[in-house]
Structure 1
Amino acid sequence: MATEYRDDGDGEGNGTAAAAAAATPTAAVARSPRASSSTVGHSLDLPSLLPLSHQHPLLTAAEYDVDAFLLSRIHIPLDELRAELREYLGVLREELVQLINDDYEEFISLGTGLRGEGERLKGLQQPLSGLRGQVEIVRDVLKDHQSAVQAQLDERSALREEKALLELLQRLFETLARAEALETVGDDTERPKVVQRLAGEYTQLVYLRNKARAEGCKVAETASPRIDALRTRLSHDLASILTGALGAHDEPRIKQCLRTYDLIEGWREAEDVVRSLVHEFCTRTITSSALVVPPSPTAPETPAAGKALDRPHRLTGASLLDGLYNRVLAQVETYTPLIAIAHSVSPEFDFFAKVLWPEIGTAIVDNLGNVIFSAGRPDELYKHYTTTHRFLTIFEGHAPTADAVIAMRESRTYITFERRWQLPVYFQLRWKEIVSALASASTVSSPRASGATGWALPQSEAAWNAFKQCWAPEIYLPELSHRFWRLSLQILSRYGGWLSATLATYKVGDDEAAAQAQEDAVLRFAAAAVADIDQLTARIGDLALLAELGLSVPFPTSLSTQPYTERIVAVLQRRCAEPLKFVKTVASQFRATAARPGAAVTASHFIPTILKPLNLFFEPRPTLREKYQAEWSVLVVDHVLSNYASILASVRKTEDLLRRHRGARRPGFSLFGNAGVPGTPDAEEGRFKTQMLADVNALADDARKLGVSVDDMGSWLELKEVVVASD
């Protein structure tokens, strides 16, 4: 029978468990004055404490925090807290005793029920050992039977493989016998079909031999010489058939032959056959003597049966090189069906980039290199280069695809072919020719009048000729466009620098006669520079080769007419403003002369001479007059009117001072007073004002004749205000 477990704990005696069992959480809460006070009513908001139990959050946490527990009961005295903890300790001990008492009886019963089981287990050990021995005997017997069965299976598998190998060898030799029998079958008309069958048998032979070799069969090697001999005979027959088909232009036979080559993977062999034909033609045709001795007359081409004569595109030149290239193009035309058929049969064929071009390009470099690649003779090199590349353009038109053209241009033969032209050397020779002519023309410093050439300065003509040579059809090469572009910019920069340096040499001195001559020289040079710059810019824009480049913006000439325009306008402004000094003499002339009643008022003698320098400047220069007369006249007239107004204002102040000085002794003369009685100073002042109005109106009419709208100019309004102003 199970014995009940008792806990004799410390400090509280044996009755602690019973007392703790009687003390419920409700009672503990009831004994706590703070806890009970929180339940009196809902009107007081006092702190409430959770009783200590198994559901308390601080006691059931994963990690027990002593500080948090003590802070939650900070308002309870230590004595009450100790009593509360001891009560909860008693509850825990009581529950522990109850758990032990519940499980102890079952534990004791388990120990009693297992008595005598050891003897029974020992009794079972001997039968189990015998059973294990019997199982091991059966397992060994089964392994022996399994090994015997596996040996039989392996032997059968080996026999099966040997049988398959024997069948493979039998098929190999049977196929070889059939193929050898086909070598002597058929006449010339049936031979292509027989060769196609032979190619199929050869393909089967290669497959069977490779399979036998993979099996390690030495017998298959005995058939290799016979198979190789069969391949040699097959290649010879295919070469004969392809050569004959090409000569007869028999496209069905060509296609059948190429399919046979593709069947036996003989792409390179087919290319070698065509290469030998092309090489023979190039050796016979592309020779150095072909450019010296005129070719003998050839029989005219006749159309094939059922086909009209189709003239392909040819070079139109009459030189020996053009004729040679035309013969090459005619021969290439005969291979056009071959190229098209080969492209449709298999992409592995590449007669264009791997056969035709290498043979033709190599023959040109080797046999004609000393003649056409003459870098020291630029004119001949240009003719040979342009003719050859026109030939290449037509030749590339026979390519089946764009990829074939790319493959041709990326080939070593093409790269070597292009390097032989030595285009940098050609450009250096052309550069020397162009720059030498420009440098010799720059030494001439005196401008000349426009002649038959239409240029005012010889340097402008030289710059145009140099620029035009860079883009001349008989000099320019597209492959050197970047070099000619840079040279063109250098020519224009050098020309512009010469114009600026020459303009800076014209300086006006203090000597009036020398200054006049220097200004005339400045006008002549600046006008010539402006006209030539405009003409040069227009001609550059009209160049056909530059238009073919498709530039989105005009060629950057970097030439500006502004510095020369400013010098021209400055000289014309000074010359047109010079007659204004006579304005101050008008008042003294009116004092010295008496009025003539009824006389018409005309402009002063100096008025027509004010804008005369403008007319004299534009009269011999119709080009500048058409483009710049209105613009430059506005600047000159505005300057003249401003100076005119300034001078009249100064005269007015002088006359006002003179009138005040004479006012005490006699009636003074006032320039801007109202008109008075005839013979009085007021009347003389009115006469002067009338004269000034006539002068400025005449000046405005002269300006309008030059295309200037003076009515909208601020200087004109200022001048009229000064004239009509009165005290």
Structure 2
Amino acid sequence: MRADVSSSKPQSQHPAFDLEQFAETRLEEGKDLDALHLELSQQLIKVRRELHNLIDLRYEDFLGLSSSVAGIDTTINDIKQPLTDLSAQISEVHTELASKLEKIDARIAYRQAVRDKKHMLRLFIDLSQLLDRVNAVLSEAEQQLRASDNVGALAEHLKGLERAAGEFSQARYFVEKGGAYPFILQAAERMQEQEERLHAALDAFLISRIDEYVLAQSKGRMEPDSAHMGLLAQCLRTYTTVGEYERAEALIRERLVRPMVSEIFGGQPGKGMGLDPAVLSSMFQTTLDFIRHVGAPLARGISAHLPGCAATLEAHVFWREISATILSALPLLFVPGMPDRFHKNYLAACDFVRQFSALFNTLDRYPDLLASDESYVEFHRKWQLSAYFSIRKKQLTDAIDPRGQAESVLDQAAVDRILGELGLSTQLAAQALWAIRRCWAEDVYLEPLAPRFWQLTIQIILWYHHSASDALKVLIRSNADEELTAVDQLLAHIHDMFAFKQMCFDHIDSIRALLPTTEQALDASSISDSLKDAISQAFEPSDDAAAGAIEHISATIVAASCANLASQLRRTTSQFRHTNRAAPKSPSAFVSKLFAELSAVELKITSQDTLAMLRTQVCLGISREIARVSIEALSTISKTEASLHRLRKTTNRASHLDHSNDLPVPPGVDLRGTTPASDNDKIRRQIWLDVTETGRIITDSLNATAHEDYEHLVQLIVPLGT
């Protein structure tokens, strides 16, 4: 059995596995040992998977084979041994290749180190050559300057300096990249000496050109020589090459600008405190003349050869020196101890800045260069505008506050003119309007403070409201005791409240013209509407107070006009009761006198708004009272008539009227188209005439409306008409 199995052992159809050939093939394909190891591992996993699948498919045969086949251990050893040998060979190859890679990496690192040293050596050589060339160029430039002093020699000298500056800039770059090598440190020391020589040569050249320019301008030459301006531009460009443009600007400030502005602004007593505006304006004008004849031509001449230079000279040279001199020589100029002078000096400074910018004509191409300069921002920040506003606010509030007028700046003559010219009647309104006008007066208002002055305007309006409201309350309390004695003063305050509001509205256009404008600003109508809305909101409390005062006056007029109304109706009853008088054909005389008090008060009113409001309130009150009294009188007549009929035990009509109770017009009474015969009907007709006449006066003469109670009464007494 075993012999059969052994004789049936399958023969291998594949050649023997050659490890060296396998590894060499894979390495030629570009695979390293790790990839080779990974490939073998994957192949091993694949073989194991196939073996497991085969065992699963023919498990019974596998068990039988394992129990029947002889020499299986030998077969396994035969299979295991090549694999073990292969693994050992792979490890040897991996170790050998790793050793070779380490040698290769070491050689590469060595080559890189050699390359770096070679590069550094080249840098040393180039740096040495650059420094030698700088020395040579500087020496040559100095010889050219000593040879002659004409424009050509100066140009050659400057060209040499420019070449030296270029070489020096490159050498400085090499030094910065060279590290801390001894040669680099020695080169840096050598460069220090060359930098000093270069700076000295450039400074001497720039100073000589500036001095020559000043000398030429002092002789009346308006436009500078183009050749000299070209040399100056080239000199500034050379400063830029070595990164020392600010050094050049400082030299120009020191040599050209500082002597002049120090002479203009220096030596002022008091460090500028309360400086006379005329003196400051003269200083500014002298400075502008200097800029116009010296500074601006220089900037234009250099800018023709070096574009953009005019803006930097304007901001960094001329403005910085001027502002620094003013800040140091006149530090108290910016303190608003004397607000009137401070205001004029600030406006003079703003005008000076505008004219200064216009002289250089750089706003179109460089609009933000000067405005963003630190010295420009600091100059404007130094002006103590907040303190100035606080002083002005205190002056105005003290002027209109009775407690502060002893030491106020109130211009009583101006207040009196306002009272006379504008028709105001009260000091409160005139003072408030004067204060608002002062907020926006040309000798008080400053554009940067526009929001604060607008806020102060609203505060003055609110102050006027509180003051006028308090005055109205006092007058109303006194009027309660003295009847109409305080009406004139009430009307004066009411008139001024409406007039003051309208005057503030009329002042909006002049205020809007003073407000600062921007590119994003709203159109004029929108700004005016916004300001008017703000004023309307501020006046809402005043409108309510005025309406309350008008209501009080109207109540007083109604009370005085209707005080005898009940007795007048009783007199009407007595005129027709048992007198056998003819039926009435015209209203009673007292009706025309109901509005006599109103007419007397109207003569004192000049405001149409006040007149309309007062008429409305009085007409409502009088019509309400006449309706109430008339209904009471008619009801009394009905009661009396019903009582008499009950006593007489009358028939149908009496019994019908008996049920009328106190109705103003009992059922069955209809006087239309007839002449009243009974005394009661005559009285009813007279009341109807009086009521309708009152309505006619209200609607036709006074153009007002009656109370709803009156309208209800008219509907009730329709049967009493003709």
Q: How does 1:354-373 map to 2 (within 5 A)?
A: 354-369=316-331, 372-373=333-334
C-alpha deviations, 1:470-526, integer Å up to 9, x for none? Answer: 3322122344445544544443333333333333334669xxxx85x7232442233
Q: Where does residue 651 of structure 1 map in the other structure?
A: 633
Q: CA deviation at 1:610?
A: 0.7
- Find the partner of 1:554 among 529, 534, 539: 534
C-alpha deviations, 1:164-213, integer Å up to 9, x for none? Answer: 74565345424532442132326421213540342123321442465378
Q: Where does residue 610 of structure 1 map in the other structure?
A: 594
Q: Is the 8 A contact 2:268 2:330 kept in 1?
A: no
Q: Where does residue 575 of structure 1 map in the other structure?
A: 560
**What are structure 1's unaligned runs of at least 5 residues?**
6-91, 293-316
Q: CA deviation at 1:607?
A: 0.6
Question: Judging changes above 3 Å, is the alpha-carbon distance between structure 1 residues 356 and 492 closer, same or farther for their aligned structure 2 residues?
Answer: same
Distance 1:693 1:174 in 2: 126
Distance 1:566 1:494 in 2: 23
Q: CA deviation at 1:112?
A: 7.1
The structure in which a higher percent of residues are helix is 2
One-letter amino acid of the counterpart of residue 550, structure 2: T
One-letter amino acid of the counterpart of residue 572, structure 1: I
Helix, strand or coil: the match of 2:243? coil
Helix, strand or coil: the match of 1:196? helix
Q: Is the 8 A contact 1:353 1:407 kept in 2?
A: no
Q: How does 1:331-350 map to 2 (within 5 A)?
A: 331-333=290-292, 334-336=294-296, 345=307, 350=312
TM-score, L = length of structure 2: 0.67
Aligned pair 1:270/2:256, yes or no? Answer: no
Helix, strand or coil: the match of 2:562? helix
Q: Is the 8 A contact 1:630 1:706 kept in 2?
A: no
Aligned pair 1:639/2:639, yes or no? Answer: no
One-letter amino acid of the counterpart of residue 471, structure 1: W
Taking only aligned residues, the RMSD between alpha carbons, in angstroms, comes to 5.0
Q: Is the 8 A contact 1:179 1:201 kept in 2?
A: yes
Q: Where does residue 724 of structure 1 map in the other structure?
A: 718
One-letter amino acid of the counterpart of residue 346, structure 2: Y
Aligned pair 1:108/2:71, yes or no? Answer: yes
Q: Where does residue 482 of structure 2 map in the other structure?
A: 518
Q: How does 1:289-328 map to 2 (within 5 A)?
A: 319-328=278-287
Distance 2:572 2:609 in 1: 37
Aligned pair 1:249/2:224, yes or no? Answer: yes
- Find the partner of 2:193 among 200, 206, 225: 225
One-letter amino acid of the counterpart of residue 232, structure 1: A
Q: How does 1:308-707 map to 2 (within 5 A)?
A: 319-333=278-292, 334-336=294-296, 345=307, 350-369=312-331, 372-373=333-334, 375-397=336-358, 398=360, 400=363, 401-408=366-373, 410-411=374-375, 414-415=377-378, 418-419=381-382, 421-440=383-402, 454-481=423-450, 483-506=452-475, 518-543=482-507, 544-545=510-511, 548-549=514-515, 550=527, 552=530, 553-555=533-535, 556-557=538-539, 558-560=541-543, 561-581=546-566, 582-591=568-577, 593-596=579-582, 601-623=585-607, 626-663=608-645, 664-665=647-648, 673-674=669-670, 682-707=677-702
One-letter amino acid of the counterpart of residue 102, structure 1: L
Q: Comparing 570-579 with 334-343, which one deviates more in the overlay?
A: 334-343
Q: Is the 8 A contact 1:290 1:320 kept in 2?
A: no
Q: CA deviation at 1:604?
A: 0.9
Distance 2:122 2:681 in 1: 144
One-letter amino acid of the counterpart of residue 266, structure 1: E
Q: Is the 8 A contact 1:579 1:606 kept in 2?
A: no
Question: Judging changes above 3 Å, is the alpha-carbon distance between structure 1 residues 676 and 595 closer, same or farther for their aligned structure 2 residues?
Answer: farther
Helix, strand or coil: the match of 1:326? helix
Q: CA deviation at 1:606?
A: 0.3
Q: How does 1:170-181 map to 2 (within 5 A)?
A: 170=129, 172-181=131-140
Distance 1:714 1:369 in 2: 74
Q: CA deviation at 1:380?
A: 1.7
Question: Judging changes above 3 Å, is the alpha-carbon distance between structure 1 residues 99 and 452 closer, same or farther for their aligned structure 2 residues?
Answer: closer
C-alpha deviations, 1:278-324, integer Å up to 9, x for none? Answer: 111101222456999xxxxxxxxxxxxxxxxxxxxxxxx99333232
Q: Where does residue 264 of structure 2 map in the other structure?
A: 285
Question: Judging changes above 3 Å, is the alpha-carbon distance between structure 1 residues 571 and 442 closer, same or farther for their aligned structure 2 residues?
Answer: farther
Question: Judging changes above 3 Å, is the alpha-carbon distance between structure 1 residues 677 and 168 closer, same or farther for their aligned structure 2 residues?
Answer: closer
Q: CA deviation at 1:609?
A: 0.9
Q: Is the 8 A contact 1:675 1:683 kept in 2?
A: no
Q: Is the 8 A contact 1:199 1:234 kept in 2?
A: no
One-letter amino acid of the counterpart of residue 362, structure 1: A
% identical equivalent positions: 19
Question: Judging changes above 3 Å, is the alpha-carbon distance between structure 1 residues 433 and 168 closer, same or farther for their aligned structure 2 residues?
Answer: closer
Name which one, 1 or 2, has greater alpha-carbon Rg.
1
Q: CA deviation at 1:717?
A: 3.1
Q: Is the 8 A contact 1:675 1:685 kept in 2?
A: no
Distance 1:361 1:458 in 2: 47
Q: Is the 8 A contact 2:123 2:174 kept in 1?
A: no
Q: State the structure with bigger RCO (CA 8 A, min sep 6), 1 or 2.
A: 2
One-letter amino acid of the counterpart of residue 238, structure 1: L
Q: Is the 8 A contact 1:649 1:722 kept in 2?
A: no
Q: Is the 8 A contact 1:603 1:691 kept in 2?
A: yes
Q: Is the 8 A contact 1:361 1:414 kept in 2?
A: no
Question: Judging changes above 3 Å, is the alpha-carbon distance between structure 1 residues 368 and 224 closer, same or farther for their aligned structure 2 residues?
Answer: closer
Question: Judging changes above 3 Å, is the alpha-carbon distance between structure 1 residues 645 and 113 closer, same or farther for their aligned structure 2 residues?
Answer: closer
Question: Judging changes above 3 Å, is the alpha-carbon distance between structure 1 residues 594 and 153 closer, same or farther for their aligned structure 2 residues?
Answer: closer
One-letter amino acid of the counterpart of residue 430, structure 1: R
